[in-house]
Amino acid sequence: MNAVTKLIDTKTAAKWRKDFPILDQTIDGKDLVYLDNAATTQKPACVIETLSRYYSEINANIHRGVHTLSQRATDEYEGTRESVRRFINAGNSSEIIFVRGTTEAINLVANAWGASELKSGDEILITEMEHHSNIVPWQMICEKTGASLKVVPIDDNGDLLIDEYKKLINEKTRLVGVVHVSNALGTVNPVKEIIDIAHAHGALVLIDGAQAVAHMPVDVCDLDCDFYAFSGHKLYGPTGIGVLYGKEALLEKMPPWQGGGDMIRMVTFDRTEYNDLPWKFEAGTPNIADTIGLTSAIEYIEGIGFDAIKAHEDNLLAYAIETLSSVPGFRVIGTAKEKASVLSFVIEGIHPHDLGTILDTEGIAIRTGHHCAMPVMNRFGVPATARASFALYNTAEEVDTLKAGLMKTMEVMGV
């Protein structure tokens, strides 16, 4: 046992693990080792029970019925808004917009804010480590408005080059879009500093928090970000529900993105008056069940606390780097100063896809590919990486199993 393993509280992780029924299964006779948490996390029993309870006891449409079930569904749906507000410390629950996920949140900002505010000559500044969902919507809106997209480069470790950022930002920069934690590298960006610099130049800031919210406390008031986006499914919650936080004054000024039911106050054929925040941005019947499920996920995380989660995941990451470093040809992609629980790597002589396929025969689930961050792959000169990403229920034994799986893959591939 080395120094890092001693730090890992195996008893507590084993207790948390029991909360996730899916983990207790075998794949081809091998215990499941689920290390694809950056793609999506597994769900604790309390979230699954909430979804089941919703459909078996509450199901009704919201905001439009005087009957009891509709009122109950509305109360729980709006209750989630308050849970999310508290979770990210937003000032007001009207600043919490429910969307499908991070992707939809960013598209909402690009279309509602971008389409009405951007003009030729304006600039949007993003970073080289963005997920495609924080690149493509901006390219699309730049094409429509004549604004242009600028990119802050990263160094060989996967750290953002802050000096380059300071050089690229100027009075034409209207918005800075930056990932809080990179899904391809694990880099934790100094978002507070990035926000302060942007504001000093009069630019807004959108933070892509998809990979951050499950691993560290996020306080949007303290950060002073203008927009913050995340997905429920990476936060132990259901798929199909995500959040866009936006400062009230900005959201008030923004036109709606989609039109339809619930987002209106009054409609005639001549004109429509839009609803108040946050409903102005929630056209149509929303994803009621999964929104309510998100409350259970948040309560679950709050019950454990980020101190415990972060300590466990940091120890696991350190243990994984140390353990896997003894695998011949192993190279970490992304060695930033501050990293969250994402470990991207390559093994010389083996294509990541072969690695993923053979590991699957051992019951080990990792992600291989470009992780929807092709510019990151280009920056590091690799077509793809293998990625193990950790959650609160992962254990040191699973890291050992991953190492054994990598050794077996090398044997099979004759490397």
Return the number of the residue (208 or 282) whose C-beta is nearest ligand 7TS: 208
Give the H/E segment covering residue 317. helix 306-324
Q: How far is the CB of 368 from ligand 7TS (least distance, A)?
A: 11
Q: How far is the CB of 239 from ligand 7TS (least distance, A)?
A: 8
**How many Å apart are CA 355 and CA 343, to the nearest integer?**
15
Return the number of the residue (308 or 372) whose C-beta is nearest ligand 7TS: 372
Return the number of the residue (203 or 213) whose C-beta is nearest ligand 7TS: 213
Note whether 220 and 370 are within 8 A (CB): no
Return the number of the residue (73 or 294) whose C-beta is nearest ligand 7TS: 294
The length of the chain is: 415
Give the H/E segment covering residue 252. helix 248-253
Question: Is residue 341 exposed (0-12), middle (13-18) or buried (19+ Cβ within 10 Å)?
Answer: buried
Note whether 409 and 357 are within 8 A (CB): no
Interacting residues with ligand 7TS (CB under 6 A): 38-39, 101-103, 131, 133, 179, 183, 208, 210-211, 231, 367, 371-372
129 three-class SS: coil
Q: How far is the CB of 337 from ligand 7TS (least distance, A)?
A: 19
* Residues labelled as active-site residues: 372
Give the H/E segment covering residue 369. strand 367-369
CA 279 to chain centre: 23
Return the number of the residue (135 or 410) whose C-beta is nearest ligand 7TS: 135
Q: How far is the CB of 341 from ligand 7TS (least distance, A)?
A: 12
Return the number of the residue (17 or 131) whose C-beta is nearest ligand 7TS: 131
Q: How far is the CB of 104 from ligand 7TS (least distance, A)?
A: 7
Closest by CA to 221, choosing from 367, 108, 109, 89, is: 89
**How many Å apart are CA 380 and CA 399, to the nearest integer?**
25
Return the number of the residue (4 or 213) whose C-beta is nearest ligand 7TS: 213
Q: What's 254's DSSP letter?
A: S
CA distances from residue 412 to 51, 147, 217 in whole angstroms, order as listed: 43, 51, 42
Q: What's 247's DSSP letter?
A: -
CA quadruple 294, 297, 302, 305: dihedral sign: negative
Q: Name the residue type at position 49.
A: E
Q: How far is the CB of 387 from ligand 7TS (least distance, A)?
A: 7
Q: How far is the CB of 50 from ligand 7TS (least distance, A)?
A: 20
Beta strands 204-208 and 227-231: pairing type? parallel
Note whether 146 and 296 are within 8 A (CB): no
Residue corresponding to tokens 């983990």: 23
Note whether 76 and 295 are within 8 A (CB): yes
